[in-house]
Structure 1
Amino acid sequence: MFERYGFFVARNAKLLLIISALAFAAAAVVGLGAFGKLQNGGFEDPTAESARAQRLIDDNFGGATNLVLLLHAKDGTVDDPATAAAATALATGLAAEANVSGVVSYWQTKAPAMRSTDGRDAIITAHVAGDDTQIVANTEKILDEYGADQPAFTVRAAGLAAVNVDVRSEVGTSLALAEGIAVPLTLLLLIIAFRSAVAALLPLAIGGLAIIGTFAELYVLGSITDVSIFAINLTTAMGLGLAIDYALLLVSRFREQLAANPDDVTGAVVRTVATAGRTIVFSAAAVAAALAALLVFPMFFLRSFAYAGVGVVVISAVAALVVVPALLTVLGPRVNKGKLPWARADRGPSSPWWGRLASAVMRRPVLAGLPVLIALFVAASPLLGVRFGTPDEGVLPPGADSRVVAETLRTNFAGNGTSAIDVVTTGPVAEAAWADYATSLSRLDGVTAVQTAAGTFADGSAGPAAPNAGGLTSASAQRLRVLTDLEPKSDAAQELVRDVRALPGPAGASHLVGGVDAQLVDSKAGIGGRLPWALGLIVATTFVLLFLFTGSIVQPLRALVLGGLSMSATLGVMTWIFQDGHLADLLGFTPRPMDTSMTVLLFCIAFGLSMDYELFLTSRIKELHEQGAPTATAVSEGLARTGRIVTTAAGLLAVSFFAFGTSSVSFLQLFGLGTGLAILLDATLIRGVLVPAAMALLGRTAWWAPAPLRRVYRRVAISES
């Protein structure tokens, strides 16, 4: 099948290049509109209890507080007449803004919780309306208008809305810096890797088609569903990375075939497509399957990476199988034009060093493999104490305004309620039942007070209502604010959310629990509950694809086990760094729990890419084995012929991801360093040591499959001819 396709490409090379150019132009016209369709946020499960509580609060109470302005008196205290007058005017102007509701200020309520213990600071709280993207845009306008310092006080902003503004600003700066480092370095390394300027342009052609084509796909999807703006960054990184992988594989095989028969360009193209082309098809399917597993999660942040990832993988593979063979047909031996002056003319397709390494490992598989296994298990050990969280101001650098204000609220304000647990009830509730419920809530461990429209409850006793309690009741719902002195998002705070949910609500009403701690509980449950399905999907699809590729059931199992070891070691190292705080001073972040969504994303992307390199190596081993070579010879020669390709491709791709390590946002550092490390681990220790060791120990059983499955393989497998 692939040979027939190779002949088709060789006969119609110029026509296919013209069609590809037209497709690129059409995709560019559509794809440029993608940026206006993509959204911020998407970290929450829209069906979770906290999300439903948030919608009730938005509909009935003007929205929960998501913006806090901290006013610091330059002289005296916040109660000085000049400071109070200017602050009141600021709050009045803010309340008049079209997209702002629920404005409450210390100078309006004189609530002690809204004033710092030293009297130098006080806060104004508000709700900025809109979806995640609109909230960011609206908050930027508000801060431009009301965030400037005044003669009597300075102004700093916090709250989820301000944090998202700061995160977007930091991410934009970080990505620009990362791309400024990665792109020129990658271009330089491409020329070195391909050993000629002409060949180095091939992955750029594939990458350009893949990136622009995926932008067009995201424009279409963004028009009909929610898609995260962060999908753009995965598109560019993986588009160029896969282009490098596939181009290296095709060009290397083409050069090898052309060296054997320099006058037969068509034959070289056909054989290249028949062998490397088949590998690319299965590789793309394996990577796409790993990324498609993200579709099972309810957060559109994660689903967006499935949209972008599957799209860029498929388009990269199609571009590689259409454009590169067509260009190789047109170029022929000219693919080596612009050769570097120091490139060795006699450099063959094999890398003797990798072959010798494989042979040495296979002679002593246990002795060679055991130290690597021990090192991977040690690297994975921090996972035993892993904790998970969601993004907040802690992902920002220490000097970011929203983070500084959040820390001030925690340390200088007594009983600050900006991170209170919200309880919303619907339906008619008798006053006695309402009071009994609030009294029960106030007795829970960790609760300092429960604010209701009828009064404030503490330690089982009722007191007068808070000055701003009028906003806690509506015609169809009631809202309680459960104040706590627990650290936001701590284990104790999450346990309190569970205790509040376990407490029976007032008779005659349903109730929902929300707030930042409830959102964390629901986010972990939303991902944790679906994680087994995602892992099961990855395992099942990978097993089936590798079986169809090799005809063995042992090879898929071996690949899954080694891939799992590599990923466990990577995640363990990331836990050691980002949760336990090692290298925090060097990288400039604050230790915190592992970001739940980013950890899942890292796993799916890195595991998919590891299968990419798995197939590169296994394809050569299988090809040599089917030609009659013993397993040991097939492995050593297969690694000799692919070791340089795999490590070069991995190194080039890792550069793109390691560049994220320069970010000032810790979850981007986690993603970039983790993915880069996983790629390098897989291309070196796994492919160079553990694969040969496993193949030596398995011997002939490495290619075993039950007779019924062998018949299935012969019937449905995609072969090279």
Structure 2
Amino acid sequence: MSDAPDHPLPAAAHPDRSASALSHLGGLVGRHPRTVIVVWLIAVVAAFAGATGAFGNQSLFDRLKSGEPSVAGENLHGRDLLVAAGRSGTSTHLLQVTGVDASAPASVRAVRTAAEAISRIDGVASFAAPQLVPGGLGSPAARALLPTSGNGFAAVVTYDPGLASAARDRAQTQVDAQFARLVAAVPGAKGTTGGLADLIKSITSQVEVDLRAGEGIALPISFLVMVLVFGGFVAAGMPIFGAIASIGGALASLLAFSHVIDLDASVVNVVTVLGLGLCIDYGLLTVSRFREELRGRVQGRPASEITQEEILASVARTVDSAGRTVVFSGLTVAISLGGLLVFEASILKAIGSAGLSVVLVAMLVALTLVPALCVVGARRLLKRGTEMAPDVGVFSRLATRVFRHPLLIIVAVLAVLGTLAAPALHLRLTSSGRELLPVSAPQREFFTALERSYPQLSGPDVQVVAQAGLQETQAYAAALPVVDGHRLVGRVERVADGLTLVDIDTPGGPLDEGARHAVAALRADRPAFPTSVIGQASGLRDFTDSLRARAPIAFALVALATLVLLFLMTGSVVIPVKALLMNVVSLGASLGVVVWVFQQAHLEGPLGFQSVGAIESTIPMLVLAFGFGLSMDYEVFLLSRIVELHERGASNDQAVIAGLQRSGRIITSAAVLVVIVFSGFVAGQLLVIKETGVGLAVAVLIDATLVRMLLVPATMALLGDWNWWAPAGLRRWHARFGITE
């Protein structure tokens, strides 16, 4: 191994790239910086206004959906049959009354008065309460509307199945007013209202709250960190301005996508966070490279003497060099998000599609807005000094120490990553409903009380939709299979001609092992007539089966595209394969940490959540896709400098050590800022957002420290010149088509 640090680097002469497309773009931005800034300012204001409904349109947050992730399959087919027959989970609205006797005269009078008023509301199909049952409060029909213990009663309003959302909202406002009068008319009564539609609204509303809270935490702290990194407010503000533009662009693109596909509530936070993180990364890279280019031309002269020609030359070179890194990075992130489009689940397709548009926004910000800001503030950027940074520093010394014991470093880092990844072997998926909300959320409390006091109203754990008559279904229900040592018990009800429903309760709830085993048994043991097993456990099974079927294709396409892209950048076969393997190991460690924290219920208190004993079903793919993209982001940052030095004639060791010195500060600073961004969203209330935030924050932290600072230089030290190996045919192909300096 060569003693790299003792040998001077080759002269840092740049090849002539003044004719490149990116150089022309940089020159255009440099000549008209204020025009570029004004255009972006107008676009960002318009984007925020459109997304929030300021133009009189429906806001993005009003267009969001929520519910369990679904794919085409048995569960969705069975639910479609019920909807076609006029059954919908969102068509009911409930009132729970506590603190009164249901049979008291005041209760009876209040219920009958409310029933008369509610029956006249447009869109209401029926109203049920125990006081209205013909057989009286002691009849079996009334039992479902009376609590299992204590005083009180429940009332249920059912809306017309085909009611439009606006008409339903108007009807519910009037129904809630009558419910309030009912409760007020009974001395000592307390009432709470809710339903599946209200639960969905609570989740989507929480997304908007979490988004504001996350940005409120992330942006100010990020700005303070960048002030420390750059040593000034001007330089620190440029990436932040770019990040704000990114948020506006993300919200506008999501609003556009909401008119084409259904957007789940969690998509907004996840995609916005990605755009915010990428813009900070790219802004940091661009501002740092511009200062470096300008210092190289000024050669220590006072900042006041910087000429406009030097600024223009520096911004053109910055957009060409840092811009190529941004384009490569953006393509790698786009490739990882493109893998989500392979999956059948609409939520993953939505995140992948919207994410691709946000990557494009982040790239445009880095190639136009941030360089324009650099040109306007060029002299202030170098106010503290115009001297070139040395090639020896903290990161070069770290790399030199790693080069002395590369094998030991590799073994130690892999051991740590393997330990972190171990909990992922016990990954268990779920698809929560009310559990997504914090414990204190009114709708979560409502459904928890409903399940405890009115189990029949809270819905069965598993259902079988039977395309058969009542007698056939009753015979089927009487012979349900034995699951976990207990025979399943079903309640049969007629839905429509030739369509019946079997309601089945299992120990532990709709997503516990009992429900999952029941779904498997019912699907394996079919009657002579068509049946569809539905419920949360059934939907989860369809979703996970679809993931398993599509995952190999998605991984293969992402891996192949990444290998080709990195080969075009490096001309090496070894470096892309090594990068891919290291990312797989680090992402496994990130997923292991998520399982350890959320599934195994560690850090519940500090992070403010209640474990459900599993991980939300979309989280593994989001952590893998986004984590892979961000990891490759930093890989490209580091490799671009190493390749640049190697192409100028530096040895492998010189290129790695100097490349780490020149990019290490940017990578570390960018990683700190992105971790802050993701941590800001961990402070939100939705469980799925917390899991995503922790997973991606850990992924970035592991990648920027253990992988980029230790594992990459150690493996490149161990392989030496073999890092740059490629078959002769591929070398000739790269010489002709490769993307180099």
Q: Note if 1:435 corresponds to 2:467.
A: no
C-alpha separation in 2, matches of 1:395 and 1:587: 14
Offset, 1:691: 0.7
- Give the CA deviation at 1:146: 5.9
Check the 8 A contact 2:266/2:688 in 1, yes or no: no
Cα drift, residue 174 of structure 1 = 3.1
Q: CA deviation at 1:666?
A: 2.1
Distance 1:28 1:222, change over 3 A: farther
Asked if the contact 1:395–1:590 (Cα under 8 Å) also holds between the matched residues in 2, the reply is: no
The answer to whether the aligner puts 1:155 opposite 2:191 as a matched pair is: yes
**Letter of the aligned partner of 2:728 in structure 1?**
A
Task: Indicate how the Cα distance of structure 1 residues 229 and 488 shifts in structure 2: closer, same or farther if over 3 A, else same.
Answer: closer
* Residues 144, 495 of structure 1: alpha-carbon distance in 2 compared, 3 angstrom cutoff: same
Asked if 2 retains the 8 angstrom alpha-carbon contact of 1:2 and 1:278, the reply is no
**Letter in structure 2 aligned against 1:580:** Q
Residue 367 of structure 2: aligned partner: 321
Once the two structures are TM-superposed, the CA of residue 487 in structure 1 deviates from its matched residue by 2.3
Q: Which moved more, 1:16-25 or 1:135-144?
A: 135-144
Distance 2:561 2:22 in 1: 27
Partner of 1:311: 357
Write the mapping of 1:114-513 to structure 2, written as runs, cut at 5 A. Answer: 114-125=145-156, 141=173, 144-145=176-177, 148=180, 149-150=183-184, 151-152=186-187, 153-157=189-193, 159-262=195-298, 264-329=310-375, 331-337=377-383, 348=389, 350=391, 352-412=393-453, 418-426=459-467, 429=468, 433-441=472-480, 449-453=489-493, 472-475=494-497, 477-507=499-529, 510-513=530-533
Cα distance in 1 for partners of 2:43, 2:176 equals 39
Distance in 2 (CA, whole Å) between partners of 1:478 and 1:365 is 67
The residue aligned with 2:31 is 14
Alpha-carbon distance between aligned partners in 2 of 1:706 and 1:282, rounded to the nearest angstrom = 23
- The answer to which of 631-640 and 480-489 deviates more is 480-489
Call closer, same or farther: CA 1:93–1:178 in 2, change over 3 Å. farther
Q: More deviation in 34-43 or 663-672?
A: 34-43
Say whether residues 1:49 and 2:74 are aligned partners.
Answer: yes
- Cα RMSD for the two superposed structures: 3.2
Residue of structure 1 in register with 2:6 after alignment: none
Say whether 1:650 aligns with 2:671: yes
Counterparts of 1:557 and 1:516 in 2: how far apart (Å)? 40
> Relative to structure 2, which stretch is displaced further, 439-448 or 584-593?
439-448
- Mapped to 1, the partners of 2:536 and 2:240 lie a distance apart of 44
Task: Name the SS of the counterpart of 1:452 in structure 2.
Answer: strand
Shift of 1:311: 1.1
Other-structure match for 2:596: 576
Cα deviation code 1:566-597 (max 9, x no counterpart) = 21111111111111111112222111210111
Distance 2:544 2:286 in 1: 43
- State the alpha-carbon separation in 2 of the partners of residues 441 and 98 from structure 1: 42
Q: TM-score, normalised by structure 2?
A: 0.85
Question: For 1:295, what is the secondary structure of its paired residue?
Answer: helix
Distance 1:181 1:65, change over 3 A: closer
CA distance in 2 between partners of 1:161 and 1:390 (Å): 17
Aligned match for 2:537, one of 503, 513, 517: 517
Residue 606 of structure 2 aligns with which residue?
A: 586
Q: How far has the Cα of 1:515 moved from its partner?
A: 2.3
Report the CA distance between 1:718 and its aligned residue: 2.1
- The aligned residue for residue 636 of structure 1 is 657
Q: Can you list the C-alpha shifts for 1:522-580, whole angstroms capped at 9, x where unaligned?
A: 23223333223332232222222111111112111111111112211111111111111
- Aligned ranges 1:85-124 → 2 under 5 Å: 85-87=109-111, 90=114, 98=122, 104-107=128-131, 108=133, 110-124=141-155
Distance verdict in 2 for CA 1:698–1:336, change over 3 Å: same
C-alpha distance in structure 2 between counterparts of 1:198 and 1:132, whole Å: 51
Q: Is the 8 A contact 2:71 2:543 kept in 1?
A: no
- Native 8 Å contact 2:130 2:142 kept in 1: yes
1:224 is paired with a residue of what secondary structure?
Answer: coil
Structure 2: state its 5+ residue gaps. 1-15, 53-58, 134-139, 299-306
The alpha carbon displacement at 1:271 in A equals 3.1
Give 2:177's aligned amino acid.
E
* Counterpart residue number, 2:576: 556
Q: Is the 8 A contact 1:279 1:616 kept in 2?
A: yes
| Distance of 1:55 and 1:671 partners within structure 2 | 31
User: How far apart are the structure 2 equivalents of 1:20 and 1:443?
Assistant: 69
Could you tell me how far 1:154 is from its partner in structure 2? 2.3
115-124 or 366-375, which deviates more: 115-124
Using the size of structure 1 for normalisation, the TM-score is: 0.87
Contact 1:562 1:686 in 2 (8 A): yes
Counterpart secondary structure, 1:69: strand
SS of 1:473's equivalent in the other structure is strand
Paired letter, 1:438: A
- Amino acid across the alignment from 2:212: A
Structure 1, gaps ≥5 residues long: 454-471
> Distance between the aligned counterparts of 2:431 and 2:578, measured in 1?
34
Cα distance, 1:136–1:106 mapped onto 2, change above 3 Å? same
Shift of 1:142: 7.1
Q: Distance in 1 between matches of 2:169 and 2:483?
A: 39
CA distance in 2, matches of 1:133, 1:235: 26
Shift in CA distance, 251/20, structure 1 to aligned 2, threshold 3 Å: closer
Residue type of the alignment partner of 2:475: D
1:389-409: CA deviations, max 9, x gaps?
012222322222333343344
**CA displacement at 1:10 relative to structure 2:** 5.0
**Percent identity over paired residues:** 32
Q: Is the 8 A contact 1:45 1:299 kept in 2?
A: yes
1:31-90 per-residue CA deviation (whole Å, 9 max, x = no partner) reads: 633453532226432522222222221221432477563624314x43434334434555
1:692 aligns with 2:713: yes
Aligned-pair CA distance for 1:172: 3.3
Q: Compared with structure 1, are the counterparts of its residues 601 and 714 closer, same or farther at alpha carbon in structure 2 (3 Å cutoff)?
A: same
- Residue in structure 2 matching 1:78, options 102, 117, 120: 102
Within a 5 Å distance, the mapping from 1:601-620 to structure 2 comes to 601-620=622-641
Change (3 A) 1:245 1:431: closer
Cα distance in 2 for residues equivalent to 1:123 and 1:411: 13
Query: CA, structure 1 residues 533+155, in 2 after alignment: closer, same or farther (shift >3 Å)?
Result: farther
Paired residue for 2:55?
none
The alpha carbon displacement at 1:24 in A equals 5.3
Deviations 1:469-493 (A, max 9, x none): xxx3323533332344442201220
Between Structure 1 and Structure 2, how many residues are aligned? 692
- Which amino acid in the other structure matches residue 525 of structure 2? L
Q: Distance in 1 between matches of 2:482 and 2:112?
A: 36
| Cα separation, 2, equivalents of 1:131 and 1:292 | 37
Deviations for 1:636-655, whole angstroms, at most 9, x for unmatched residues?
11111111101111111211
2:636 counterpart letter in structure 1: L
Aligned match of 1:467: none
| 2:618 aligned counterpart, secondary structure | helix
Distance 1:210 1:181, change over 3 A: closer
Query: 1:457 — aligned with what?
Result: none
Distance 2:670 2:155 in 1: 53
